[in-house]
A and B are shown apart, each in its own frame.
Chain A
Amino acid sequence: MRKILTCVITLLLVVLAVPRHASAQQVPREEYEKLKAQLDSLKAEMNEAFDEFDSTIAGIRDSIRFSQHGTTRLLFSGYGVTDFISTRDGESEFEAEVAPMMLWHLNDRIHFAAQTEIEAGEEDLTINLEYANIALHATDFLTFGAGKFITPFSVFLPRLHAAWINKLPSKPMAFTDDGIAPLSSLGAFVRGGFGGAATRMTYDVYVINAPELITTGDRVGQIKSVDGGDERAFGGRFAFVFLKPGIELGGSYQTSEVARLRALDFSFTHAIAPLGGNFDLRFEALRSEPDQNVFAGLVEGTTRSFVKNRYEGGYGQFAYRPTSSKALRNVEASVRYDWVNYPDWRDGPNGDDATRYTAGIAYVFTPSMQIKFGYESRDNKITEDTRSLVLRTAIGF
């Protein structure tokens, strides 16, 4: 007890003996505020310097990325395809096609794209310039472009015709080289998209060299694109896109002196968990109406006239890929029904209308490389029906 008392008294004496220097050396409030302000200012300057440094580093990093060989503003890519086609009557053939593509990215606003199509088959080697156009993204919702471009009429031609994208090893009859709408055209376009969180509206409006009406041969009444001429055709496509659950509904229209074209398209692409896979359902219908009077004027001295001047076609296609199955997740099965009806003439000939069923299966090695096998059953109104097997290997960019 005495020890504790001694300690407490000693402590009190020490405390009283210590001079009160602390209060004498305390920084005045004013000076404190000044120092604090200086510190804050230094902090801000430092943060700014760090931001600038980060930005400079990011710029240097981008410059390095963009100066790498082969990955700069020019990108060479494309797609290649080989086909083996065997028909029921015993004929068979190999075909090959390569479509080199060049994309030139001047900056995030200006873009040049070109693609050629080189095809070897039964006939001689054919080389076509599929497209070569320059596009300027003027605003977030508006892109101007000019040159030769895939006609933004319907969906299959501008977006699905590439061999590595097309689910089946053949195109619907309405979209083949002899189809209703020409694949590409020369002219200018305005396009873009806008919308909310999960809904979009896309538009394409274009003016192109007016197509010509074919007046002789098997394709009489069809239109074909031309590289020149005084006349112009106008057209466009508008579509509503619902990103959830993946529905797109669009309509296309094109008018010119020789023919009026219309198309409707619908697609549904979605992964449905309870059904264990990815579904892809598509439907497109097209119609071309060649002008009766223009046609009569084009063929001198003829009294030939349409009984039915509609040239129409389309397809419905369904594809399923069981992505939840370990064994089958790289396999995609597809079925398609497509049809084409040609114009009929007074006193003949009538068009060789056709319907076709196609079933196919594809093995997806990588997202851009597949082997596809298809069986086609085509019924023609006039000529002999055909049955054929197609084996296709396709690789794309």
Chain B
Amino acid sequence: MKRTCFFVMSAAVLSACAAQPANLRSTSTQPVPNARHAAGTSMGRAELWAATCSRCHNLRAATEFSPAQWAVILNHMRSNAGLSGQDYRMLLEYLAGRKAVETPTTTAQIGSGQK
């Protein structure tokens, strides 16, 4: 019980400290939001990328993988991290610069990957 109280208290203190938005700093190994998407509406995607991926591991820059590789990786992460379809498409657009196909409506369309 003491242990639980200690951890809950620690969490509360740190949460209070974290009232300001995430500060993504530029370091040699800590990628920052991709410059080619860093303006305008893409900031939402950059924030989503930073907040979602850092829940488990260090952030990976868009340049680390090709667009095709990102499509494969994000599909895997969609399943692993409980991402919604919308989150998946936003991250795919941000990291791979590609739009995902829309939700298919028939089995045949699912098989072919076409809308």
Contact = CB atoms under 8 A, between A and B. Distances in A.
Contact of B14 (A107, A108, A191, A279): A279
A290 B75 CA distance: 37
Interface of A: 62, 65-66, 68, 71-75, 103-111, 113, 135-137, 139-141, 143, 145, 158-160, 164-165, 191-195, 198, 200, 202-204, 239, 241, 243-248, 266-275, 278-279, 281, 283, 285, 316, 318, 323-324, 329-330, 337, 364-368, 396-397
Nearest to B75: A111
Given A241-B55, A272-B18, A281-B11, A71 B69 contact: yes
Interface in B13-48: 14-15, 17-25, 27-31, 47-48
B59 to A, nearest CB: 6
Chain A interface helix/strand/loop/mixed: strand
5 contacts: A75-B72, A271-B25, A281-B10, A330-B28, A367-B29
Contacts of A113: 76, 79
B69 A75 contact: yes
Contact of A107 (B51, B64, B66, B101): B101
A248 B24 CA distance: 20
Given A105-B71, A159-B56, A239-B82, A275 B22 contact: no
Contact of A268 (B14, B61, B79): B14
| Minimum-distance CB pairs A-B, first 9 | A107-B113, A140-B85, A202-B82, A367-B58, A245-B18, A193-B82, A243-B51, A105-B72, A273-B23
Contact of A140 (B27, B59, B103): B103
A244 B22 contact: yes
Interface residues of B, number: 64
B76 A368 contact: no
A246 B54 contact: yes
Contacts of A397: 73
Interface in B60-95: 60-61, 64, 66-69, 71-73, 75-76, 78-88
A204 B81 CA distance: 10
Contact of B76 (A68, A103, A200, A244): A103
B30 A73 contact: no
Given A137-B88, A281-B14, 7 more contacts: A108-B71, A204-B82, A243-B51, A266-B11, A272-B23, A329-B25, A364-B58
Nearest to A274: B17
Contact of B68 (A72, A145, A271, A323): A72
Given A62-B98, A272-B17, A193 B84 contact: yes
Given A165-B57, A266-B11, A243 B48 contact: yes
Contact of A270 (B10, B14, B73, B86): B14
Contact of B75 (A105, A244, A271): A105
Nearest to A204: B82
A266 B79 contact: no
Contacts of B17: 272, 274-275
Given A72-B68, A159-B56, A268-B15, A246 B22 contact: yes
B78 A143 contact: yes
Contacts of B85: 137, 139-141
